[in-house]
Chain A
Amino acid sequence: MKIKKNIAISDSGFIFNPSTGDSFSVNPIGLEIIKQLKEEKSGDEIKKHILKTYAIDEATVEKDFYDFLKMLEQNKLSAENEKVN
């Protein structure tokens, strides 16, 4: 999945979607994921990175990561016509 190109991301965790006018707040790990998605990293790369950085098991990361992607999609932050990984 990709993030829309025009999404504004600030280091405070503030996300602004200029095409809908909605703004969001994300926690640090959410911010990390969004940044990596914007750099067009693949889902597997991102998950691997989380597993390496944080004390957590693979099943939880898998579940939480896809739930987070679902939320990005639901909030219209994902690039259209792109399939979810």
Chain B
Amino acid sequence: MEPTTLIAQPPVKDKKGKRRKITVAVTGLNAIDSPGPGVAVIRALRESSEYEVRIIGLSYETLEPGIYMHELVDKTYQIPFPSAGIDNIYERLEYITSVEKIDVLFPNFDAELYNFIKMADKLKQELSIHTFLPTMDQFEARHKSNLVEYGKKNGISVPNSKMIFSTAEIPSLTKEFTYPMVVKGKFYEAAIAYNPDQVASHFNKISAKWGLPIIIQQFVHGAEVNVCAIGDGKGNTIGAVPMRKQYITDKGKAWAGIALDDEKLLEETRKLFAATKWRGGLELEYIKTSDDEYYLLEINPRFPAWVYLTVGCGQNQPEAYVKLALGESVQPMTKYDVGKMFIRYSWDMIVGLDEFEKISTLGEL
């Protein structure tokens, strides 16, 4: 593979032609058909004008493609799954920092954030690893089941939703909702229901898979638009790029998307950051109705896999994230190129068995 094919433009150097050397550890190297954001984040950091980064990949499985992308990732270490508990993960990071000096840890999965938020202080104090994560309160408050409350508190329009625990609650739903309604699982899966029977049928299917409660959400007609953004934790929006998916895969992931000129959506985003003082990167999912009303559907508490589009549009949001993590001041980025598109593609790497052997048996590559 030609390494240069993965990097859009050569890194810009500062006046002295020198960039500061730092080491960043990144998770989410699963650049597969439903990708994690890690590889996109790494590409963004490789193009930083201020930092010359050494990238430490942190992987959970042996087939995460990023492990084998040596032009992007300098060294990868396997780490235990979040379910193994903070002590195990910390112990592994302790071992890794005995070999590598990690300046910034850049997690990219929802499922690992809880643990990293909890151990953030310890990482900084004991291992000198910087992070830039939402506070536990911010992280917990934006959960799907709390979103209505969250909207009320922060003055954000959110489709009305409610948790139900039994099909006996379905008949009375029409007091608060009109059909169609969205029937959602606690963590995953959603389906649209046009009548009580369909609600009951989705309730049973989804609860069998993901348990209770089931979330009923008012269906809102309109187009889905997304924002990739970063906040400084003081209420300022450091960067924000709105995007509309142009095509989605059968798993519902963006295949191609385009950066939008949408001042009202940016205004909504700034309002959200000002109200919540969100710290770190996130992805906002909105529905824009035909009368230009915006309803917030979901807050993903980390950058999306399409974060590299922000670099393409002139806002290197992952770089800003690293700067904020290191405690450096960052000026808000307000400009971006409208109409830039991303088109995702897959790429078959050729990998020697010895590499797979190393990551499998030694946990390092």
Q: A-side interface residues toward B, CB under 8 Å?
A: 8, 10, 12-14, 16, 23, 25
CB proximity of B26 to chain A, nearest CB, Å? 26
B362 proximal to A (CB < 8 A): yes
Contact with A along B353-365 (1 / 0, CB 8 A): 1001100111000
14 more CB-based (< 8 A) A-B contacts, given A13-B361, A16-B357, A25-B360: A8-B353, A10-B357, A12-B357, A12-B361, A12-B362, A14-B357, A14-B360, A14-B361, A16-B353, A23-B353, A23-B356, A23-B357, A23-B360, A25-B361
Q: What are 17 A-B interface contacts by the 8 Å CB criterion?
A: A8-B353, A10-B357, A12-B357, A12-B361, A12-B362, A13-B361, A14-B357, A14-B360, A14-B361, A16-B353, A16-B357, A23-B353, A23-B356, A23-B357, A23-B360, A25-B360, A25-B361
CB proximity of B103 to chain A, nearest CB, Å? 31
Interface residue count for B (Cβ, 8 Å)? 6
Main SS class of interface, A: strand
Contact partners of B362 in chain A: CB under 8 A: 12
Q: How far is the CA of A3 from the CA of B362 in the complex (A)?
A: 25
Contact partners of B353 in chain A: CB under 8 A: 8, 16, 23
Q: How far is the CA of A24 from the CA of B353 in the complex (A)?
A: 12
Contact partners of B361 in chain A: CB under 8 A: 12-14, 25
Instruction: Name B317-365 residues within 8 Å CB distance of A.
Output: 353, 356-357, 360-362
CB proximity of A7 to chain B, nearest CB, Å? 13
> From A21, which residue of chain B is reached at the shortest CB distance?
B353
> From A18, which residue of chain B is reached at the shortest CB distance?
B353
CB proximity of B63 to chain A, nearest CB, Å? 11
> From B358, which residue of chain A is reached at the shortest CB distance?
A12
Contact partners of A13 in chain B: CB under 8 A: 361
Q: How far is the CA of A10 from the CA of B353 in the complex (A)?
A: 11
Contact partners of B356 in chain A: CB under 8 A: 23
Contact partners of A16 in chain B: CB under 8 A: 353, 357
Q: How far is the CA of A6 from the CA of B360 in the complex (A)?
A: 20
Q: How far is the CA of A14 from the CA of B356 in the complex (A)?
A: 10
Q: How far is the CA of A69 from the CA of B193 in the complex (A)?
A: 55
Contact partners of A25 in chain B: CB under 8 A: 360-361
Q: How far is the CA of A7 from the CA of B299 in the complex (A)?
A: 49
Q: How far is the CA of A14 from the CA of B358 in the complex (A)?
A: 9
Q: How far is the CA of A10 from the CA of B357 in the complex (A)?
A: 9
Instruction: Name B18-41 residues within 8 Å CB distance of A.
Output: none
Contact partners of A14 in chain B: CB under 8 A: 357, 360-361
Closest 5 pairs between A and B when the two form their complex, measured CB to CB = A14-B357, A12-B361, A14-B361, A25-B361, A13-B361
Q: How far is the CA of A3 from the CA of B99 in the complex (A)?
A: 39
> From B62, which residue of chain A is reached at the shortest CB distance?
A23
Contact partners of A8 in chain B: CB under 8 A: 353
CB proximity of A57 to chain B, nearest CB, Å? 30
Q: How far is the CA of A13 from the CA of B356 in the complex (A)?
A: 13
Q: How far is the CA of A8 from the CA of B356 in the complex (A)?
A: 13
Instruction: Name B241-278 residues within 8 Å CB distance of A.
Output: none
CB proximity of B358 to chain A, nearest CB, Å? 8
Contact partners of A12 in chain B: CB under 8 A: 357, 361-362
Q: Name the residue in B356, B357, B360 with the highest tally of chain A Cβ atoms < 10 Å from its Cβ.
A: B357
> From A12, which residue of chain B is reached at the shortest CB distance?
B361
Q: How far is the CA of A14 from the CA of B355 in the complex (A)?
A: 11
CB proximity of B271 to chain A, nearest CB, Å? 52
> From A26, which residue of chain B is reached at the shortest CB distance?
B361
CB proximity of A85 to chain B, nearest CB, Å? 28
Q: How far is the CA of A8 from the CA of B360 in the complex (A)?
A: 15
Contact partners of B357 in chain A: CB under 8 A: 10, 12, 14, 16, 23
Contact partners of A23 in chain B: CB under 8 A: 353, 356-357, 360
Q: Name the residue in A10, A12, A14, A16 with the highest tally of chain B Cβ atoms < 10 Å from its Cβ.
A: A14
CB proximity of B186 to chain A, nearest CB, Å? 36
CB proximity of B360 to chain A, nearest CB, Å? 6
Contact partners of B360 in chain A: CB under 8 A: 14, 23, 25
